[in-house]
């Protein structure tokens, strides 16, 4: 594409030329992403064929949702794609936090203790666990469920040495281990399948009865397989992230061993009925289309992240991961070291989005967070982070968390606009 069309967005010639150079240096990384996309797309095509889903399954099921064939077909597809014995895929989940809460509360019981091995969890999940709790909020702590946290190393990695020490005995006190694949608002690498497999092997070698739970948000279809193939027992995620492809309007999934998924289903619905109820309400088509197109959308999001990493690293900003690193999720971090630069970046993302581009995001309080947050999300679905979005806490090192993008051009444009604004700040 020539510069002329980008000039209509008030992109400078210098920002365009600089971005084209960075883009050219991403070719090898893009080719690797496309190979993963092709492989995962064919896996999903096979899952659809095996599920024998038909147009008749897309009718509206209501009430109890007994014999909802669309829901059953979709759950069979998710189970195969994620290498799970069973999957619970429901429109009634409204956020990743809700589905993770359901997984934790469905499996853990009073007086159980579990270990978080990936450092601090997402800010929004802390009330569910009972971290920094001051009032009665029906957290795990309220139900006498305790946790320990394994802090990350100075390099931001899972502390493998300490983990080995903890699980060197067969008499571990932990019923479960909780792993967060993505980084939340911490500056650490997302966990790849290789690292997840290493964690699982350490635990299972001595304590095969320990349940390994994984927050898989932002990580679906980034690699050729999902963490259930590497020792994880159960995992959960949101449909307004990777597996929904910007099409599913809400929802979430829990996938893994059958008896564990059914425990979560009973917590979601009622004991004795579990996964048998829960109508799709006509959303099976959207959910099916989402997972069908997810490899394409995830690949696009990864390409935007790779390009942004290369462009802003060239400008002297600290980025994680580097443009050619192996990735465990779609999130790209850029440390701006300055609150104004973080704000300018997020505003560039907003003005390059499809929806609400006329508004400029400003830092503001947000439930579950301990500081003001700036959030750019001009998405068709509220909070959809597989669509182009960027956010960050207003605290040092003033890091932007960039994710998503339904087309590469929107991310390319946002980065060029941001580059112009950052040059003006300098």
pLDDT tens-digit profile of 107-150? 999 999 999 999 999 888 998 999 876 666 789 999 999 999 99
- CATH class of segment(s) 3-40+294-425: alpha beta
User: Dihedral (C-alpha) 372, 374, 378, 383: value to the nearest 10 degrees?
Assistant: -40
Place of tokens 């959030």: 375
- The pLDDT value recorded for residue 132 is 72
- The pLDDT value recorded for residue 2 is 84
DSSP state of 353: S
Would you say 353 and 337 are in contact if contact means Cβ atoms under 8 Å apart? no
Average pLDDT, the chain: 95
Q: Which phi and psi angles does 32 have, rounded to 5°?
A: -65, -40
Q: What is the pLDDT of residues 70-97, one digit of tens each?
A: 999 999 999 999 999 999 999 999 999 9
Would you say 128 and 116 are in contact if contact means Cβ atoms under 8 Å apart? no
- The pLDDT value recorded for residue 366 is 78
- The pLDDT value recorded for residue 1 is 67
Q: How far is CA 49 from the centre of its chain?
A: 27
- pTM above 0.85? yes
Determine whether domain 52-291 maps to CATH 3.40.640.10. yes
Q: How many residues does the chain have?
A: 426
- The pLDDT value recorded for residue 30 is 98
Residues near 328 by Cβ (< 8 Å), separated by ≥ 6? 181, 182, 189, 190, 191, 192, 193, 195, 219, 222, 223
Sequence ranges of the domains in the chain: 3-40+294-425, 52-291
Q: Helix crossing, 284-314 with 27-51: angle to 10°?
A: 170
- Choose among 354, 331, 307: nearest CA to 400: 331
Plot region of 249 (φ>0 → left; ψ -120 to 50 → alpha; else → beta): alpha
- The pLDDT value recorded for residue 368 is 61
């Amino acid at each position: 594409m020539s510069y002329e069309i980008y000039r209509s967005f008030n992109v400078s010639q210098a920002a365009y030329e600089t971005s084209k150079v960075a883009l050219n240096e991403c070719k090898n990384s893009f080719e690797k992403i496309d190979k993963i996309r092709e492989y995962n797309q064919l896996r999903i095509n096979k899952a659809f064929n095996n599920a024998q889903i038909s147009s008749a399954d897309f009718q509206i099921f209501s009430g109890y949702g007994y014999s909802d064939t669309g829901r059953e077909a979709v759950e069979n597809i998710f189970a195969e794609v994620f290498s799970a014995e069973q999957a619970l895929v429901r429109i009634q989940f409204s956020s990743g936090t809700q589905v993770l809460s359901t997984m934790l509360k469905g499996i853990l019981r009073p007086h159980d203790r579990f270990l978080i091995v990936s450092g601090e969890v997402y800010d929004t999940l802390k009330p569910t666990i009972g971290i920094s709790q001051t009032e009665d909020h029906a957290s795990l702590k309220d139900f006498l469920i305790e946790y320990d946290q394994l802090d990350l190393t100075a390099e931001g990695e899972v502390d493998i040495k300490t983990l080995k020490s903890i699980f060197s005995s067969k008499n571990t006190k932990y019923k479960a281990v909780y792993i967060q694949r993505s980084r939340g608002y911490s500056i650490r690498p997302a966990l790849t399948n290789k690292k997840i497999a290493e964690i699982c092997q350490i635990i299972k070698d001595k304590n095969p009865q320990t349940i390994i739970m994984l927050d898989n948000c932002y990580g679906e279809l980034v690699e050729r397989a999902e963490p259930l193939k590497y020792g994880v027992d159960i995992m959960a995620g949101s449909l307004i992230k990777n597996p929904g492809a910007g099409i599913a309007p809400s929802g979430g999934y829990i996938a893994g061993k059958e008896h564990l998924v059914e425990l979560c289903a009973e917590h979601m619905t009622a004991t004795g009925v579990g996964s048998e109820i829960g109508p799709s309400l006509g959303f099976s088509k959207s959910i099916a289309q989402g997972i069908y197109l997810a490899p394409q959308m995830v690949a696009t999001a990864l390409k935007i992240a790779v390009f942004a990493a290369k462009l802003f690293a060239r400008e002297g900003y600290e980025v994680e991961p580097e443009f050619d690193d192996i990735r465990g999720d779609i999130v790209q971090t850029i440390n701006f070291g300055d609150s104004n630069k973080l704000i300018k970046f997020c505003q560039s993302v907003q003005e390059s989005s499809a929806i609400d581009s006329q508004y400029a995001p400003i830092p503001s309080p947000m439930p579950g967070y301990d500081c003001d947050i700036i959030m750019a999300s001009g998405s068709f679905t509220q909070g959809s982070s597989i669509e182009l979005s960027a956010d960050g806490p207003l605290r040092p090192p003033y890091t932007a968390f960039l994710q998503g993008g339904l087309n590469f051009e929107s991310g390319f444009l946002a980065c060029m606009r941001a580059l112009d604004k950052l040059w003006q700040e300098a």
